[in-house]
Amino acid sequence: MKIIVIGAVAAGTSAAAKARRNSEDAQITIYEKDSFISYSGCGMPYFLGGEVAKAEELTPRDPAFFQSKYNVGIKTQHEVLSIDPAKKRVSVKNLISGEVFSDAYDKLIFATGARAATPPIPGREGAQVFTLRNINDMLRIKAFLDERKPKTAAIVGTGFIGLEMCESLTRLGIAVTLLEKLPQVTPGLDGDMAVYVEEHLEKSGVTVLTGISIAEITENSVLLVDGTSISAEMTLLSTGVRPNTGLASAAGITLGASGAILVNARMETNLPDIFACGDCIEQFHVVTGKQVYRPLGSTANKTGRIAGDCATGGTLAYRGTLGTGIFRVLGLSVGQTGLSEREAREAGYDAVVCHNIKPDKPEYLGGKEMVIKAVADRATGRLLGAQIVGVEGVDKRLDVFATAITYGAKAEDLFYLDLAYAPPFATTKDPVLYTGMILENAIHGGRPLMTAQELLARQSAGETVMVIDTRVSAQYEKAHVDGAASIPHAALRAAADTLDRDAVTVTYCNKGTTGNAAQNILINKGFWRVYNLSGGMKQYKAVRRSLSGYSF
C-alpha cells in the first residue's frame, strides 16, 4: 500500500508515524512545500522574546530523522499542484529544480494546515509588516529585530499569538500598542473576563486600543480611520488563520460551513481513500455536537494520529473538541475550555453563570487570586464551559474542567472530585470544588446568582432592585454598587424585619462568600427573590470598567 501525505508539520508527521506503527509494509511519502518540518510553531513567540535560545530547538527533526526512525520519505520544497481522485494520482512540483512529476497513491492524507488571514489594509506588504505562522516568518522577524532594533511596535489582533508576541516584544524593551477591532481583547473570552486581561496589559505598560479601524500601515506608524497615528516601527498582523483548502476543493472534496475540510470521526473526506487532519479540517464540538473550526496544535496532533490509523485499517475515531486553550501574557495566565456564556446562549442553553474568585493556594504560601467563570445548563446541570484568569495554577484547574466537560459531568459533580491537596499546591477546598458548590446552589439549592451585567441592565431599564452591601461601612464608603444600601453582615438579621420581603433583592460583598451568607439569612427569613451578586464587588467593578464596549 502506498500512502501519500500532503504537509509535514504536526498533523502530517503524526499521521505518517502512526501509519508506520500500524504497517511495516506501507510505502509512506510526505510532500511539504516549505523547508521546515515537524516544528514547534507554538514556541515561536518565545524564541523571538529570548526565552528559547536557538531556533534549532524548535526544529529538532529533519527528513533524515523520519527516514531513519520511521522509514518515511519526506520531500521538502515539493508542492502538490493537483489531485486526480479517479486515477489516484497527484501532480507534484519540485520547487528547487522546477520539475513537475506525477505520483500514485492508495491512500491520501491532507495535512495542508492553515495560513495567516490578513485584512486588506493598505501598506500590509511593507517590509516592516509581518505575520507569524511558520518558521520562515519567525526568522524574518528575528532578522528584522536584530538589524533594525525597533523601539515601537503595533500588534493588530489580540488572540493567542498576538498577546504572546506582545509579551515577547515587551521583554525586548519594545513599546507595544495592541489594536483590536472588537470592543474587547481576547475575542474568545466573554467580555466580563476579557476586562481582567486588558487591565493587566495596561498596568504592564502596554497601550490597548479596542473598537478601532485601521486606515493604513506606513513605514513608521499605523494610521487609524479616526485620524489617530500610532507609532510603529514594526507591525504584526495577528488576525487569525484560514484553512488551506484550495487543493482539496479543486479535487472535489467537500468543505464545511467554516471553509475547512469536512471529515467524519475517522478523518475521512467525501472521496474514497482520502483523509484529512490538522488545521485544514473542521471538528465537531463535544458539548453541542455541531461543526466548529478550532485550529490548535494539540488537536492537529490528535487528528493526525487518527488519520494515520484509519488509513491503515485502524479503528480510532475522533471524540470532539472543546477548544481548550491557554496562554501567558506578561505573567498572567489566561485559559478557556468549552462554551463561553455567549456561545452557550447562542446554542439555546439556559445558561447559569458564576464568577468564583479564590487564591490558587493559601495566601500564607504566596497564593495569588484567580477568577474562574463557569457556565452550566440550568435544565440538566451539565457543565458547559469555563474561563480562568490568574497568575499560577490556571492550567491545573482548566484541565480539570476540560476533563469534567468531556465526560459530561454536572456542575454539582465538581464538589465531589478528590483533588490533590497540600498547602504548597492548593487550598483545602480547591477553587474547582468551590465552583461546583456555587453552581449547585444556584441550580438546585435555591440560591440564585445575578451577574453584574444583569443587575446593571435591570437598573438601566428602571426596574426597582434592592441592593444590599454586606461589607463593613468603611468598604462601602470607599466604593459600592450603584443604588446599594449599606447593611453589614453582622447587622443584617436585625435589619431584615424592616425590609420589603417581596422586593427583588441582591446581596453582595467583596467577592461573593459573605454575599451568599447574607442571601441565606434573607431566604431563611422569608425573602423569596434574593440573588447573590456573582463575583461580588470585584466582578462588578470589572464589568463597569468594560461598559464602553459591553452590550446589555
Catalytic machinery residues: 42
Radius of gyration, alpha carbons of the chain: 26
Query: Cα(108)–Cα(105) distance, rounded to whole angstroms?
Result: 6
DSSP state of 231: E
Q: How far from the centroid of its chain's Cα atoms is residue 59's Cα?
A: 25
Query: Cα(136)–Cα(102) distance, rounded to whole angstroms?
Result: 28
DSSP state of 253: P
Strand bridging mode 152-156 / 175-180: parallel
CB neighbours of residue 417 within 10 Å: 14
**551 contacts: CB under 8 Å, gap ≥ 6:** none
Q: Please state, in angstroms and as integers, the Cα–Cα distance from residue 429 to each residue in 99, 346, 436, 523, following that order.
A: 65, 33, 11, 25
Query: Cα(1)–Cα(331) distance, rounded to whole angstroms?
Result: 50
Look at residue 63 and give its three-state secondary structure: helix
Identify which of 367, 364, 339, 334 has the alpha carbon closest to the alpha carbon of residue 353: 339
Question: Residue with C-alpha cell 461580588?
Answer: 536
**460 contacts: CB under 8 Å, gap ≥ 6:** 552
Query: Cα(94)–Cα(379) distance, rounded to whole angstroms?
Result: 58
Look at residue 432 and give its three-state secondary structure: helix
